[in-house]
Amino acid sequence: MLIGHIHQFTLRQLLRYRAFLYEPRGKLSLKTKCWLGLVKLLGGKNPTLYSYEKSLPYLPVPDLEATTGRYLESVRPVLSEERFKEMEKLAVDFKDGLGKKLQRYLVWKSWWSSNYISDWWQQFVYLRSREPLMINSNYYGVDSLLVPSQIQSARAANMIHALFLYRKQIFKEKLEPQFAMGIIPLCSEQFRRTFNTTRIPLKEQDHLHHHGATSHTVIYHRGRFFRLEAFHRGVLLKPADLERQILKILQDESKPVPGEELLPAMTSADRNLWAETRSTYFSTGVNRQSLGCIEDAAVFLNLEDLEMNYGEEESEDLDSLCRYLLHGNGHSCWFDKSFSAYIFKNGRFGLTAEHSWADAPIVSHLGEYVLIDDVQMLGYKEDGHCKGEPEFDQLPSPTRLQWDIPEKCVSIIESCQKKAELLINDLDLHVLVHTAFGKGVIKKCRLSPDAFIQMGLQLAYFKDQQTFSLTYESSMTRLFREGRTETVRPCTTESCSFVRAMLDPSATKSVKKELLVKAAEAHVDGFRRAMAGQGVDRHLFGLYVVSRYLEEDSPFLKEALKEPWKLSTSQTATQQTKKTDYNKYPEQKTAGGGFGPVADDGYGVSYIIAGEDIIFYHITCKVSSQLTDTKRFSEFIKESMAEMKALFE
């Protein structure tokens, strides 16, 4: 026992080392090489999913003066001179006054909590939000390029089987933990609630309900809900057995009862309305039993009557698929579930995920893992049906969930559907498939691919809006225990200088190139600081929460936190598992996923570097905004990327 504690303590001290983040790739110092060797030695062989959790260091509270200084540096390019001087004065007053008191409380919290910010982030940013989850909070992920089987029942059976195998890997802690640089462990805490988790609507603040280990899937088909048992006599059903069970659902000709078909629209409604309706009409009798079946289910899956497809080119088909995965028709998935899966009529697969329980890399890992298992481990017969023969001759048929929804409740459900349709009609979504070049060319420029893409977005945004704006890029803090995300601020003084030079006819090619390199380096430094727990935004947020608890008013924090993110961006992680080999299986590349716009007059941009020569950009904005247009912005992105590439030719 004592030796184990010493081992954990030693590894935790080693994992506090952050100098490796600031060293060039492939040119590590002798000190870092020795450190990596010790980490590898103490990490042991064949670690389980949660092996490193107690050895990960706690997220540090950044220095107050450093945070206020970095904040001012980040807003300088987007504020007028007068406004900047005002914020500078507020920052100094805060740093020398109330900020010291708030900082002490935050440091005290960091001493006794495993992460000083993650619980507040989940509570105040997600669970206390009263806005509809659909479009405002959820995000989606798309299938691989090639559909391995166009038989809906077969694809659904394979995916359900693969999802339960993945769940078993998590439950048994057999899933391999993730590592930075192949050695430094990342926090695995978010994986715990991947399955059997539902966000329950309550007044003022929702609750994350995690059941544990129920063995059923709820399938939604043509407005009806079915309970499908994935296990029989304690054994996970083989895909061939599941395919027969799913066929029974597809062949069922019963009709939805009043209110049943549109019922999922409640999960796309205002959270207080859903909480009140749930409490009034779904707390007793068959409604409570059926709702409990949905909320306790391991997986929620929709067998869609629509056909969807896409390829390695821009198309309305790809846009339609992504729009549907983000919002469906307002009632096509259960937005409260940790994730909901779609199997379309032609076999295509997709996911939409609730955001409070985990961030996109966790769902991306799940999607990547099960898509690979679907093809490489399970596979299909030549005719598209599941491999193998059914093991059981007689299985209990899937159970239709029963509902008794009063007329008044039906009216509420119908009104929620109408409001959902208004939100859907206000979404503009376009996927840019950038095939002119990808990661391969960017690496030859000796720049970080992420920094190159972010500078391209800065240039495109200025062309589109004729102004600079605060930009959000998500970075992970999973090098720390229970770490989630931090904000990188790509709009910097260096990036603005680069953009101005690109639009200045008198600027030479060499000057533009030099400014691009400087801007990219500044961006990489910002990303490193975020990963090292030295970002600006989570610290300011934590200080603000403390000020609210203490009922202290801070003009600086109010002003700093109300600035809108008119360009919100994120890179979708790819090749997160050792199973992935896109060179060997190029058809298993995916277009990634996306999310809705954060600001009413802003853009949401999610991108995935899908290979050496292809990048997918998922661009969203609101139709009602007169300032934004996804297709116009995508053209500026293509133009900007080409101009930047030309600087190195």
Q: What is the model's pLDDT at position 32?
A: 87
In percent, the amount of the chain with pLDDT more than 90 equals: 86
Q: How far apart are alpha carbons 544 and 484 in whole angstroms?
A: 19
pLDDT at 505 over 70: yes
Confidence of residue 584 (pLDDT cuts 50, 70, 90): confident
pLDDT at 423 over 90: yes
Q: Provide the sign of the torsion angle of the four alpha carbons 152, 153, 154, 160, taken in this order.
A: positive
CA 20 to chain centre: 26
Determine the straight-line distance between the first and last CA of the chain, rounded to whole angstroms: 61
CB of 327 closer than 8 Å to CB of 420:
yes
User: Active-site residue among 327, 355, 430, 523?
Assistant: 355
Digit-coded pLDDT (tens) for 54-111: 999 999 999 999 999 999 999 999 999 999 999 999 999 999 999 999 999 999 999 9
Residue type, 512: K
Give the pair of three-digit tokens for residue 292.
């409990």
Confidence of residue 1 (pLDDT cuts 50, 70, 90): low
Q: What is the model's pLDDT at position 283?
A: 95
Non-local (6+) Cβ contacts of 450 within 8 A are 523, 527, 571
Q: How far apart are alpha carbons 265 and 156 in whole angstroms?
A: 23
Q: How far apart are alpha carbons 368 and 579 in whole angstroms?
A: 9
Q: How far apart are alpha carbons 300 and 293 in whole angstroms?
A: 10
Non-local (6+) Cβ contacts of 357 within 8 A are 122, 190, 193, 197, 199, 208, 338
CA dihedral of residues 11, 13, 15, 19 (deg, nearest 10)? -140
Sheet holding 471-476, edge to edge: 427-434, 614-622, 603-611, 567-571, 471-476, 485-488
CA dihedral of residues 641, 180, 372, 166 (deg, nearest 10)? -140
Give the number of other Cβ atoms within 10 Å of residue 287's Cβ. 21
Average per-residue pLDDT for the chain: 95
Q: How far apart are alpha carbons 516 and 446 in whole angstroms?
A: 12
Q: What is the DSSP string of 398-434?
A: PEEPP----HHHHHHHHHHHHHHHHHHHTEEEEEEEE
Digit-coded pLDDT (tens) for 275-322: 999 999 999 999 999 999 999 999 999 999 999 989 888 899 999 999
Digit-coded pLDDT (tens) for 368-385: 999 999 999 999 999 999
Q: Quick one: which of 60, 48, 44, 49 has its CA closest to 4?
A: 44
Q: How far apart are alpha carbons 216 and 124 in whole angstroms?
A: 32
β-pair type (339-343, 299-303): parallel
Non-local (6+) Cβ contacts of 301 within 8 A are 156, 159, 160, 217, 218, 219, 220, 340, 341, 342, 343
pLDDT at 138 over 70: yes
Out of 86-95, 388-397, 465-474, pick the least confident: 388-397
In the annotation, is 539 catalytic?
no
Reduced to 3 states (helix: H, G, I; strand: E, B; else coil), residue 636 is helix
pTM over 0.75: yes
The DSSP symbol for 319 reads: H
